[in-house]
Structures are given as structure tokens and as C-alpha cells.
A and B are shown apart, each in its own frame.
Chain A
Amino acid sequence: MHALSVRQLTKVYANGVRAIDGIDLEVPRGDFCALLGPNGAGKTSLIGIVTSLVRKTSGEVRVFGHDLDTEASAVKASIGVVPQEINLNLWDKVGNIVVNQAGFYGLPPARARQRAEVCLKQLQLWDKRDETARTLSGGMKRRLMIARALMHEPRLLILDEPTAGVDIEIRRSMWEFLRALNGAGTTIILTTHYLEEAENLCRNIAIIDRGRVIERGPMTEVLAKLNEEVFLLTPRQPVDVPPSLAGFEVRLNGPQELEVAMPRARSVNDLFAALSAAGIEILSLRNKANRLEELFLALTERKGEAAPPAGRARP
């Protein structure tokens, strides 16, 4: 039984926009899965349908075997959701927000207060429990939404861009928290624009574009489909003309930077040998972008035909 199973899901909005166009997707229990896609790809619509905030047009959604159409209550009880936009009652106290949320899931007040202490401490918000949500920083609000989603101990946690607008330090601490949560058995589905985040955290990945899943599978297998890697090299001496290196595509980004596209069949040793033969000494080397981003762009360019430029996901 999968944590999430989606079959032939479609969503056509009243204005005629087909946000989801026959998606099939399965997320195993205990998985940490990334949903990637450009803006408007259908990720948020998909999450909206699974969490009952958006009505599907057709198709089937099952969560831990429960059918959304016939067992909506069981589906909802299994899911915790952290939406993309802040949807807190900003005038309410932090403690009240989480305790009330637990109550909406049927947890008695004493149990809700216990869970509030656990969740707020986990997310480092316990000392803010008597403050109103509007006084929290952006990062704290995001953490509060995670605490709120965990109050009823969901088996499936869905996070829609949970670290958007959060500084690096808090983002890293949230990653650690999510890893630990997943390690303890919670299935996690994550959408993110930070592709590094997906590559670091997730075991499986599904790339969505124009309402369809265009690639999915284990992260390592999907990344293996990349047939080249791009490096940025800093030469010791300034270079005026890009050198011709057999089997490598070289561009000059400036006198102090070479961009080299290396086929996966070749090794970095081959590259350095070719550079030495050309008389170029290299001071430093780095990846041009993270590998997932390259794959993502390659896939959405290849299969998305005229995908709008604004739809590109970049860190």
C-alpha cells in the first residue's frame, strides 16, 4: 500500500485552464519525495486536491489506501499540510493556533496541549507560544505552519515550498528536522524551487510540467539520465580564445573563466589531461549549477516545447 496513489487525475478550472492533465503518481510509505516543476506546472493544484482544498475534475486519489471520494475523513486524518502561502490567523496566539488545529482533528484539549509543547519545542517556537503570530518573523511563521501540520501526528506530511524566503541557516535546520521526521517513519512530499533542497533531502523525484508527470523515479536514477555535466574553470593565466579540446565543448565566459561541458562518458582526468596538453593550468573548478537543475531545465526544454521562460525553476 502506498502513502499516496494518484491515477489519471485531472483538474480543469472554471476558466478552462487544465492545471492537471492525467497525472499518475505513486509515493511509497516512508518515502521522501520531491515534486518539481515550473510555476503553473500543477504542483499546487495536485497538493490542493490531495488535501481537499481543490476539487478534482476526474481521477482517483488514495492515501494509505483510503479513497478521497469515499473516505475523505480518513484521508484528511492521515495528512498534514504546510501550504506555500502563510495561512495563519495572524491575530491569534501561537499556542492557540496549534492547540486549535489539534482540536479540529479531534484531539482532546489535554492531549492537544501536550502535542503543542512537543511540536513547538521541536520547531523552536515554545518561547513564542503566548505571542500573536503576526509578531513572528517569516521563518518563524513557516516553522509555525510546520508545527501546526504535525499536531495530529500525520503519517504523510506535504510541504509546498516550505523554505521559500527563509534564510540559509533556518533552511538547513529545517532540513535536519525533516530528515529526522522522515527517519522516524513519516512519509514526506516536498515541492520546492530550491533544487539543491530536493537533491539533498529526497530519495525519489517526480518532475511535473504542464499538468503531466514528465519524469519520475529514484533521485540517483533520474540524475543518471543527465548525459553531461558543466564545469566552470579558473585558469592561472588569462585566456583570450577558448581552447579546442577534443570531446569537450568549451566556452569562454571571460578571460578568467572557462565553461566546459563534459559528457558523462568522460572523466575529469580526461579533461585535465586535455587542458594540460593545451597548456592551460587550472587554479580551481566548480559545477556550473546543481545537477538537478540541469536535468530539470533539460527535461522541461525537451518535453515542454514552448514552456514560458517565467516557468523555469531556479534556486
Chain B
Amino acid sequence: MSLRQQAVALGTLSRKEYHRVVRIWGQTILPPVINMALYFVIFGNLIGSRIGRMDGFDYRQYIAPGLIMMAVITNAYGNVVSSFFSAKINRHLEEMLVAPMSNVTIVLGHMVGGMIRGVLVGLAVTLVALFFTPLPFAHPFITLSVFLMCAAIFSLGGLINGIVAKNFDDVSIIPSFVLQPLIYLGGVFYSISLLPELAQQVSRLNPILYLVNAFRFGMLGVSDVPIGFAWAMMLASLAVLFATCVLLLQRGYRIRE
């Protein structure tokens, strides 16, 4: 299959995933937007007004980048894991496996699908945030690059989960018991400078802290972590996760008997 044909296959898979996201927008786009609006109302307006300023910013402003990242992470991940696992369990994944599209194309197509949902939800949540508080977008390139890389990283994470999962429990375990705690403890609602030294050191082991702070740096210009390191870590994660996905597909892990 030529490169041009692989591009057609990639376009087909990406379009298929996009249509899926849009077709069931009531499940894919709307709930996270409502959730984030509630976060802004409760943590931003009601509780936030008593907290005061954080790192020199109004609390609503301070939590906005973290909440946007939270929406991007959970939706990019959730989109790919549910799409891939349902295709696997209902066996229409075979449509792709019998076709000559390469494993790289299959991985890219699912990654793009997850990114589409992550970006759509992220943009919608950003609009909600702008309704509550102004956002200065201090470093637009960093904002955009972190936004897209974060969506890509967690799409790939979702794909690995979808490949490895044997049942529906396996699909919900990682988001509920790993991703959600890491997001909440990843500096979405607070600066780790408020924590005792030991807790700060432990927090620095949480990869999501770097994503949230890099995005916050892009939007507000403040961060708890070095941006260069965070950016490099994201790139490295992207490469490692992508290679892992391709390798798993090549080996047919839990896909081909």
C-alpha cells in the first residue's frame, strides 16, 4: 500500500472517529462542559472567593488552565479507550486488521480521533472559562503545543488501555483509579508551593503536574515546574507511547490470536 493510500486510510479512520464524536455529542461533548461549568461555579465563584489570590492570580483564573487540561486528558483518553475496546469486543476492529493499512496508520487514526474529542471539549471548556474569568494567553505557542501534545499523549494512553483491556472493568480501572487521582493531585486546584517539602517532592513524581503547569505557564505565565523540562517530557512520552502502541499492534497483543 503506497504512502498516498495510507494517507487515505488515515483520513478515513480519522473521519470515522470524528463522526462518532459528533454523532453522540450528548455523551462526548456536553457532559464535560457541564462538569467544568460546575467546577467554575463551585470552586471558582463560591469557594474561590474565600481563598483569595494564588501565585498572583484570581483563583478562578488560576484553576482555569488545570480544568481545561483535566477535560482534555479525560476526554482524549476516554474517547480512544471506548472506541477501540468496543471495536475489539464487537469484532468490527477486524475491518482494519484485514485491510492493508499499516499499524502506524491505525495508531495515528485513533490518536487523531482522541485529539479531536480532546480539542473540541478543551475549546468548549475554554469558552466556559472565559465566561467566568479573563485568560491572558501569555505564551500562545506553548499553550497550543501543550494543549495538542496533552490530547495526543492521553489518546495514546487510551489506545494502550483499549488494546490491553480484556473486559469492561479493565476499561474503567485506569481512568478511575489512576488518572483521576493523578489529575486531582497534579496541581489543578493549587500550587504545590503550598505543600510541605516532602509532599512537593512526591508531587514532582506526578507527570500530570508537568502538563498542568506547562499549560498554566502558556496561559498565565506562571508555573511550579521548569517549562523546558515539562515540554521535553511530553515529547518523550509521546514518542514512547506511540512506539508502544505500534509494537502492541505488531505483536497482535490481545487482538490477533
Contact = CB atoms under 8 A, between A and B. Distances in A.
Interface of A: 13, 48, 51-55, 72-74, 76-77, 79, 81, 83, 85, 87-90, 96, 100-101, 103-109, 148
Given A55-B256, A77-B1, A89 B90 contact: yes
A107 B2 CA distance: 11
B84 to A, nearest CB: 12
Contacts of A51: 98
Contacts of B90: 87, 89-90
Contacts of B257: 13, 48, 53-55
Interface string B1-32: 11011101101110110010000000000000
Contacts, number: 84
B19 to A, nearest CB: 7
B100 A53 contact: no
Contacts of A101: 95, 99
A104 B13 contact: yes
Interface string B87-115: 10011101111111110000000000000
Interface of B: 1-2, 4-6, 8-9, 11-13, 15-16, 19, 87, 90-92, 94-102, 252, 256-257
Contact of A83 (B4, B94, B99, B102): B94
Contacts of A85: 91
Q: Do most interface residues of chain B lie in helix, strand or loop, or is the interface mixed?
A: helix
A87 B1 contact: no
Given A73-B1, A89-B90, A104 B19 contact: no
B99 A76 contact: yes
B92 A104 contact: no
Contact of A104 (B2, B99, B252): B99
Nearest to B4: A106
Contact of A100 (B12, B98, B256): B12
Given A51-B98, A53-B98, A79-B98, A106 B2 contact: yes
A72 B98 contact: no
A48 B90 CA distance: 17
A248 B75 CA distance: 76
18 contacts: A53-B97, A55-B252, A76-B98, A87-B90, A89-B87, A96-B19, A100-B13, A103-B11, A103-B12, A104-B9, A104-B95, A104-B99, A105-B100, A106-B1, A106-B5, A106-B6, A106-B9, A107-B8
B9 A103 contact: yes
A53 B98 CA distance: 7
A108 to B, nearest CB: 6
Given A54-B257, A77-B1, A100-B12, A89 B19 contact: no
A9 to B, nearest CB: 15
A51 B98 CA distance: 6
Contacts of A106: 1-2, 4-6, 8-9, 100-101
A105 B12 CA distance: 10
Contacts of A55: 252, 256-257
Given A53-B256, A76-B100, A100-B16, A108 B8 contact: yes
A107 B94 CA distance: 18
A104 B12 contact: yes
Given A55-B257, A105-B9, A107-B8, A87 B100 contact: no
Contact of A52 (B6, B91, B98): B98
A52 B97 contact: yes
Contacts of A53: 94, 97-98, 256-257
Given A51-B98, A73-B1, A103-B11, A87 B256 contact: no
Contacts of B92: 87-89
